Each structure stands twice: as C-alpha cells, then as structure tokens.
Amino acid sequence: MAGVRTLPTKMAGMTDLDKTLSATAGQRITTSRWKGASSCLSAPFAALDRTRQIADNQIKRQSDRATERQRDRSIRRTHVAATLLVAALLVGGCGRAARDAPATGDAQGGPSALYRQALATAGKPLSAALAGMASARTFKALTERLVQASQAAGQAAEQLDQLTPPQEVRAEHADLIQAFQQLNGDLGGLSDAVDGHELCASSAVLARLGRAQGLAAVRDASTALAAAGGAQSYKLDVQVPPTPKEEQRRRLQSGQFVRPGSRTGSGELTIENHSGQDTVITLALGKRTVLSVYVRSGSKSRVTGVRDGVYQVYYTKGVDWDPKARAFTRDCAFERFDDTFDFKTTATQTTTWTAGLEPATGGNVNASEVSPSDYPAA
C-alpha cells in the first residue's frame, strides 16, 4: 500500500514473542496511516515504526556476538521499551489534542450561548420605548417616545446584522433583521402621522401599531427563530403594550364638562358648533384652565356661572375623545380666538357671549392655530 510501511512478519531467529509484537505493530501502523496524518494516533505509531527499525538493527548486531539466551533477553527488553514508548506517546499526544480542542456546542462562551445572549438584549430598548409611548400624556411626550421607538427598532436590526447566527437559524435570523427594518419604517410613519396631527394620543398610535405589518413580521420571525433553534431556545423578547383591535370613536354628551371649574359668577357663554367636528371649549386666565366643556358637532351648549375676568378662549376639535388623556386621539386641531372675552358684572348688567365655531371658510371671528405644547390642559 502506497505510503504505508508494513513490518516484516518473519525474521530469522525471531521468537514467538517477536512475531506477535511484529504483527500487532504492523496492524496498528496500517490502521493509523489509513486514518490520515491528522489523527492523534498517527504520530505515536510513526514513532513506533522508527523504534522498531532501531530495535531490529540492534538485534542483528547482538546475534553476531552473543549467545542465544543473551539475544533473547535483549529482544524482550527492546520490545518492552517500544511498547512503553507507544503508550506514552498515545497518552501525551491524544491528551493534548483533547485539551487544546476548541469549545463547541453550547459550552460557556460558545457561539450558541453568545447568540442567545445577544437576542435576549436586542429587544429591550424597543420594549422600554414602547412602554413609554403608551404612558405618554402630552403631545410632546408622545412624539419623543415614538422617535425613540423608531430608533430602537433600527438599532435592533443593526445589532442583529452584526451577529453570525448558528447555521440552523440563518434564514430565520435574516427574516428577523428584515422585520425590524420594516418596523422601524412603520414607527417612522406613525411619528409623521403624529406630527401632522392625524394621530394625537397614545391609544390611537397603539391601535395603528397593532395593525402594522412590521410588528406582525417581528412576531412571526421571532416565533420561527425559536422553532428552528429547537432546544437552544433562541428567544427574542419584545414587550408590546396592549393594542386596541379597532380605532375607537368615543364621544361625550354636548354640555358635559371636562373640567367644571368654579362657576359662581353671573356671566354666560353660549357655544354653537358648526365646524363639522366635536369640540372642547376651554376658558383660560393666562395659561391656567378655568373650565372646559364638550360640544358635539351640530350642537349648541350654554355655560352659566362664569366668573368675572378677561379670558382667552381655546378650542380643540377632532375624533375619538380619550377621557384619560383628555384629548381627541385622531384628526385633532388646536386653536384660539384672537380676541379675548371680557366678563364683567355690575349692579345693573351681566355679560353674555356667544362663540360660534364655523367651518374654516366661514365665520367672522379670527382664530389662530396653537401648538399643542402651548395649549392649556383641558
């Protein structure tokens, strides 16, 4: 056999012990070479090959100048030494190979464990941003939390893209990256909708988020990843607040107070709402809200007991009144009458005002748009 040295099975003057050792050593050398040079057994049996050759030469020299008994004793010592050498080489060589072999599987610090740890942390910033968005009670806070959530989704995609996933979940890993990128775009679109006052409260944003394709894609991809990983438990944890199944359309009754205030005066305010949207009228002294009242579209309401003072009159209109946020959740607008309303009571007279809310093209009273951050709390 090419590349394999087989020891002779018969030599002149060899004892039965010689023949047995020779045959055994020949079989081991042949097996070792067949397995390849990379085997930890190759080097020890190659050393046995060289040792046996030295021993055979020594036997020949000793046979010319010693008796049969002396030669037999020398042969036994030589073969014993060769056998001990093989054992030593086997223990030393294979021991080092086992000790120096790289860690595989799920050993501490192994690729599976590191990947699992990265997954466990990838969704935490997004979970925190979504929780903050759900608890936002002001327009400014809602806008900031949405920007944070969008950035967190993008960062999750970048973080996952830098990982080398285990072979068995590479396809699912790629799908998860794409899902986070899609969610990043969806959250960016929701942020634009808030900036344009199409969405005005966290409940509306969550309702729209619940129907977003990106969020569904993240859920599906993470489920597929966990299934493909099997016992490795590759789980991505993204906590999403409860999302309404449908957009709501909540309304109060006309004349219902959002903030009743102290109405111990003699003034009266009548509101006629022809704007096409439900409205909440707020009377404020400076930035301090005195009272707020809800007036449905096409309805009229009268507020009595207004105390004397020079009031700024604000109004917000929109769709779906959220009683917790005290705001319309969709298609909202924030405006203020340019003129003030002066209520004054004397011994002979009281003050009565009528505020008519008309469509944008009608009316004879000027009003200006107000930033949500400058709008007094309802």
SS (H, E, C) the chain: CCCCCCCCCCCCCCCHHHHHHHHHHHHHHHHHHHHCCCCCCHHHHHHHHHHHHHHHHHHHHHHHHCCHHHHHHHHHHHHHHHHHHHHHHHHHHHHHHHHHCCCCCCCCCCHHHHHHHHHHHHCHHHHHHHHHHHCCCCHHHHHHHHHHHHHHHHHHHHHHHCCCCCHHHHHHHHHHHHHHHHHHHHHHHHHHHHHCCCECCHHHHHHHHHCCHHHHHHHHHHHHHHHHHHHHCCCCCCCCCCCCCCCCCCCCCCCCEEECCCCCCCEEEEEEECCCCEEEEEEEECCEEEEEEEECCCCEEEEEEECCEEEEEEEEEEEEEECCCCEEEEEEEEEEECCCEEECCCCCCCCEEEEEECCCCCCCCCEEECCHHHCCCC
Q: One-letter amino acid identity for 202? A: S
pLDDT-derived band at 152, boundaries 50, 70, 90: very high
Which fold, 257-374? Immunoglobulin-like (2.60.40)
Residue linked to tokens 């991809």: 221
Q: Is 255 exposed, middle or buried (0-12, 13-18, 19+ CB in 10 A)?
A: middle
- Angstrom distances, CA of residue 236 to CA of 121, 154, 233: 8, 15, 9
Q: Is 139 exposed, middle or buried (0-12, 13-18, 19+ CB in 10 A)?
A: buried
In this predicted structure, what is the pLDDT of residue 91? 39
pLDDT of 181-214, one tens digit each? Answer: 999 999 999 999 999 999 999 999 999 999 999 9
- Identify the sign of the CA torsion 124, 107, 224, 227: negative
pLDDT of 56-93, one tens digit each? Answer: 554 554 455 445 545 544 444 444 444 433 333 343 44
Q: Is 61 exposed, middle or buried (0-12, 13-18, 19+ CB in 10 A)?
A: exposed
Residue linked to tokens 């009229």: 300
Rounded to whole angstroms, how far apart are CA atoms 91 and 98? 11
In this structure, what token pair is assigned to residue 6?
A: 């087989």
Rounded to whole angstroms, how far apart are CA atoms 113 and 163? 12
| Second CATH level (architecture) for the domain 111-232 | Up-down Bundle (1.20)
Contact 260, 274 (CB under 8 A): no
In this predicted structure, what is the pLDDT of residue 44? 43
Q: Residue ranges per domain, the chain?
A: 16-100, 111-232, 257-374
Between CA 303 and CA 310, with CA 304 as vertex, the angle to 5 degrees is 85
Q: Is 102 exposed, middle or buried (0-12, 13-18, 19+ CB in 10 A)?
A: exposed
pLDDT of 90-140, one tens digit each? Answer: 434 443 333 333 333 444 456 788 888 888 899 999 999 999 999 998 888
pLDDT of 8-40, one tens digit each? Answer: 444 444 444 444 434 444 443 333 333 333 444
In this structure, what token pair is assigned to residue 364?
A: 């004879």
In this predicted structure, what is the pLDDT of residue 286? 87
